[in-house]
C-alpha cells in the first residue's frame, strides 16, 4: 500500500522522525524505542512513541528509512542527517 506525505529535510536533525498521526494513518507497525531525542530548538528531550521502518521514495530513489514516532511534528516526516548519510548528494530545484 502506498501513502503520500509531506517531508521536511532538516540538516539540524540528527535522526529521522514521523508524526504519530501519520504513522497511525498509514497503519505502520512500530517497535519499542527507548532512546530519548534531544530537541535542539528547545534544549529539551522527548521519548518517542516507538520507531518504524519504511521504504521511502525520495526524488525517484528508494531508501529503507528508520523513523522515530513523535508527537507535535509540523509535517508528516522529518528526514535528518541519518537520511542524508544514505545519499552522496542531492539537487533540489525550486523552479524560481
pLDDT tens, per residue, the chain with 96 residues: 677 788 888 888 889 999 999 999 999 999 998 888 877 666 788 889 999 998 887 778 888 889 999 998 889 999 999 988 887 777 776 776
What is the model's pLDDT at position 22?
92
Query: What is the grid cell recorded at 41?
Result: 530548538
What is the model's pLDDT at position 59?
74
Q: Where are the domains of the chain?
A: 8-70
What is the model's pLDDT at position 45?
84
Q: Give 19: exposed, middle or buried? Use CB within 10 Å, 0-12, 13-18, 19+.
A: buried
Amino acid at each position: 500500500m502506498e501513502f503520500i506525505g509531506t517531508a521536511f529535510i532538516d540538516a539540524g536533525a540528527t535522526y529521522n522522525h514521523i508524526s504519530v498521526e501519520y504513522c497511525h494513518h498509514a497503519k505502520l507497525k512500530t517497535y519499542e524505542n527507548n532512546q530519548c531525542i534531544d530537541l535542539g530548538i528547545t534544549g529539551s528531550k522527548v521519548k518517542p512513541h516507538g520507531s518504524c521502518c519504511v521504504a521511502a521514495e525520495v526524488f525517484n530513489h528508494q531508501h529503507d528509512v528508520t523513523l522515530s514516532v513523535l508527537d507535535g511534528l509540523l509535517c508528516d516526516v522529518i528526514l535528518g542527517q541519518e537520511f542524508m548519510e544514505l545519499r552522496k548528494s542531492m539537487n533540489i530545484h525550486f523552479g524560481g
